[in-house]
Amino acid sequence: MNTQIKQIAERLRGLRDALNLTVALAAEKCGVSETNYALYESGSSDIPMSFICEVAQTFGVETSALISGDDAHSLAYFVTRKGTGTSVERTKCYKYQSLAHGFRNAKVDPFEVTVEPCHQTMHLNTHSGQEFNLVLEGVLQLRIAGNDIVLNEGDSIYFDASKPHGMKALNGSNARFLAVIV
């Protein structure tokens, strides 16, 4: 697994230790199985961005602190210049760039997500809240609650993120989209 995932796993473990929680209690609070929580903390498996957002919200920390180890400081506004957001490459196929990592107490988590064409099986995940996606470039296939939807550049979708969902780039090219997790 890549170095970034291992570092995020260490921060998850450190946060749980600082809060004096067992894996079982932390997993329960975040709505995942104890097995999955322990797997995410091990750093040997992909950690869904939705899970990182859930941990941040549940335990009152900034998503950026879990992703990068840096605390957000801005209270009035925060500018993210093109290509400069804190990046997390979860897997070879997915790259997330946080667009509000420097704003303290952000109410939503906006990300620029790049999905590369991969021949892997589409991974489905769930998380609390809702999600908005706007395709900026390419063609994106989404699977939501068993439905396959194809979005082209300029198309958007808003959905219940508690329903199993996943994304895949089509036509052999990268797809880039804005994801806002509420």
Domain segments of the chain as ranges:
3-68, 86-181
Can you give the pTM of this predicted structure? Answer: 0.73
Residues in the chain where the model's pLDDT stays below 50: none
Architecture of domain 3-68: Orthogonal Bundle (1.10)
CA distance 179 to 149: 16
Longest dimension (CA), the chain: 48
Domain boundaries 86-181, corresponding CATH code: 2.60.120.10
Per-residue pLDDT at 26? 94
User: For residue 116, what are its two tokens?
Assistant: 């590369």
